[in-house]
Chain A
Amino acid sequence: MEIDPFIFRLSIFILSIFVGYYVVWSVTPSLHTPLMSVTNAISSVIIVGAIIAALAGSSEKIFETSNIFGFLAIVLAAVNIFGGFLVTQRMLQMYKKKKK
């Protein structure tokens, strides 16, 4: 009997939760704010769905309703991707060790 691909995705999902659990516990508490901003940035990988939504359909009708939602989602996700990674970078630049 063949296994439903959904089961594969579910396996990936559950294993990733475990990976996330162990990785996040190893994050030092002083970097919890950058952790939040970077998780924010990476969760915007949802832009993948937005791009598919925006480009769906025929080339004559670029702005059907479903496409418009896609384009809007692209803008939102792009704000987050650029904003999230850049602000994380800006924060991480500030963490310095004691000058000896």
Chain B
Amino acid sequence: MTANLSALFYLISGILFILALRGLSSPETSRQGNYFGIAGMAIAIIVTFLSVGNFGEGFIYVIVFLIIGGSIGAFIAFRIPMTAMPELVAGFHSLVGLAAVFVAISAFLKPEAFGLGNIGNIKLASLIEMSLGAAIGAITFSGSIIAFLKLRGIMSGSPITFKGQHIINLFLGLMIIGLIFYLCISQSNNIFWSIVMISFLIGILLIIPIGGADMPVVISMLNSYSGWAAAGIGFTLENTALIITGALVGSSGAILSYIMCKGMNRSFFNVILGGWGATDQSSNTKSKEQKPVKSGNADDAAFLMKNASSVIIVPGYGMAVAQAQHALREMVDALKKNGVKVSYAIHPVAGRMPGHMNVLLAEANVPYDEVFELEEINNDFANCDVAYVIGANDVTNPVAKSDPQSPIYGMPVLDVEKSKSVLFVKRSLSSGYAGIDNDLFYRDNTLMLFSDAKKMTEEIVKSL
């Protein structure tokens, strides 16, 4: 296959990838979009085989390894529970990152196979592209591993900070740039390996200071990095499909990070430079005295909701932890039978990754047209009889609107307190991730339901 013809086919697969993302604009077109993506990938792989044109023994090994990887991937895809989606995505990011590193290493060791020159005499542009690709890939890999360990609970989700952290990161970052310059002059193997190793280290250092609830930003950011790494390799290999895909994925991740940061009213750097837990000092200690709290049981809750005309459900990360989505759907079904109008309100940063709650609700067969985003539904709380808060906390805290001293001041929150009564399912009165007390607990129209999210919901179903 000539180089021109294969370049055209790579362009086609790039376009199919664009269509794959375009399909996600609505759930109806999304499945078709996914098929476009698969077709694009198939074209890219077949064209590569034809243009390399080496169908000897090596080709058989390629197929074997492809099948090994493919079966592992398929096995994971079918077995993974939907609640584990954040760590799965983090794990997958790490694989893209490592694959980019391996391809860059291979290109460095055997540049003639890629048409980049000879060992010790690699083209300058290629050298810069491949070392950037390798560096970003390595950061993606080790960063995603840390994110994976934190999400999986193997590593503590609380931020790990130490003195001089940011200065070390800055120093290492500058060192990589310096080494890339030096690599261009010396073409030395050792320099190349040092760049890869230091990048691994940066990835780790970059993610350990970030706390659990900031994970939506981290995952989106690593998503973006994996794209830029792919683009870097795309420039090295002079491959259009890779360049297009890298740019798409890179900008996609960047936009998601932006949306997540906006959902928390924080700047990107504020998130990257360390967790909330460290900066909080004021509101936590002063108001720990006993304020009156109304608490109730499942029967009270069932009575309230049965007699309501409209109920809004506010799910959060706690629902995912307790796996309460199926019980929740049963409860809603029972309410609907009683003629109650039910909808769901999702905060942009609810859960551990963008869209986390939507997937869990979809898994529990909740129709997606009953699920609303913050801006769509926030005005409806004023007209709603009961708000059922399950596993969410900070995203409902009215302090964000009233107290300029609060660390979460200015963050968009769901106006839960405006509904006639609030049912708040929570195990205790402890504060949320941000480490601040939720004013909502002490309001007259709030009824606390102290229990596990799943257990409480199941009990309510029984008494309905």
Check B38–A85 contact: CB distance below 8 A: yes
Binds A, one of B179-187, B242-250, B453-461: B242-250
Interface string of A75-100 (1 = CB under 8 A from B): 11111111111111111111111110
Instruction: Judge if B109 is at the interface, Cβ distance under 8 Å.
Output: yes
Q: Which residues of A contact B78 (CB under 8 A)?
A: 86, 90
Q: Which residues of B contact A55 (CB under 8 A)?
A: 52, 54, 58-59, 62
Query: Chain A: which residue is nearest B125 at the CB level?
Result: A6
A14, B235: Cα distance in complex, Å:
12
A52, B219: Cα distance in complex, Å:
30
Shortest CB-to-CB span from A97 to chain B, Å, is: 6
A57, B113: Cα distance in complex, Å:
7
Check A20–B252 contact: CB distance below 8 A: yes
Q: Which residues of B contact A79 (CB under 8 A)?
A: 69-70, 72-73, 76, 92, 95
Q: Which of chain B's residues 312-355 have a Cβ closer than 8 Å to chain A? A: 346, 348, 353-355
Check B62–A86 contact: CB distance below 8 A: no
Check B69–A78 contact: CB distance below 8 A: yes
Is the interface on chain B under 10, 10 to 19, 20 to 34, or 35 or more residues?
A: 35 or more
A48, B76: Cα distance in complex, Å:
23
Q: Which residues of A contact B103 (CB under 8 A)?
A: 46, 49-50, 53, 69-70, 73
Check B102–A50 contact: CB distance below 8 A: yes
Check A37–B92 contact: CB distance below 8 A: yes
A80, B356: Cα distance in complex, Å:
20
Shortest CB-to-CB span from A88 to chain B, Å, is: 5
A89, B24: Cα distance in complex, Å:
12
Query: Chain B: which residue is nearest A68 at the CB level?
Result: B106
Check B77–A16 contact: CB distance below 8 A: no
Q: Pick the most buried of B57, B235, B252: most chain A CB atoms within 10 A of its CB.
A: B252
Instruction: Judge if B65 is at the interface, Cβ distance under 8 Å.
Output: yes
Binds A, one of B220-228, B300-308, B400-408, B419-427: B220-228
A13-B223 contact given A28-B26, A86-B74, CB 8 Å threshold: no
Specify which of A24, A49, A70 is in contact with B242 (CB 8 Å cutoff): A49
Interface string of A3-43 (1 = CB under 8 A from B): 00110010011101101110111111111111111111111
Specify which of A20, A85, A91 is in contact with B82 (CB 8 Å cutoff): A91
Check A48–B48 contact: CB distance below 8 A: yes
Check A91–B362 contact: CB distance below 8 A: yes
Interface residues of A (CB under 8 A from B): 5-6, 9, 12-14, 16-17, 19-21, 23-57, 59, 62, 64-67, 69-99
Kindly list the 9 A-B residue pairs having the minimum CB-CB distance in the complex, ordered from nearest: A78-B69, A56-B113, A32-B355, A83-B73, A82-B73, A16-B247, A32-B354, A20-B251, A86-B77
Known: A33-B356, A49-B239, A55-B59. 14 other contacts (CB 8 A): A9-B234, A9-B235, A20-B250, A30-B27, A36-B354, A40-B223, A44-B96, A47-B48, A55-B52, A62-B58, A71-B62, A76-B99, A83-B73, A83-B76
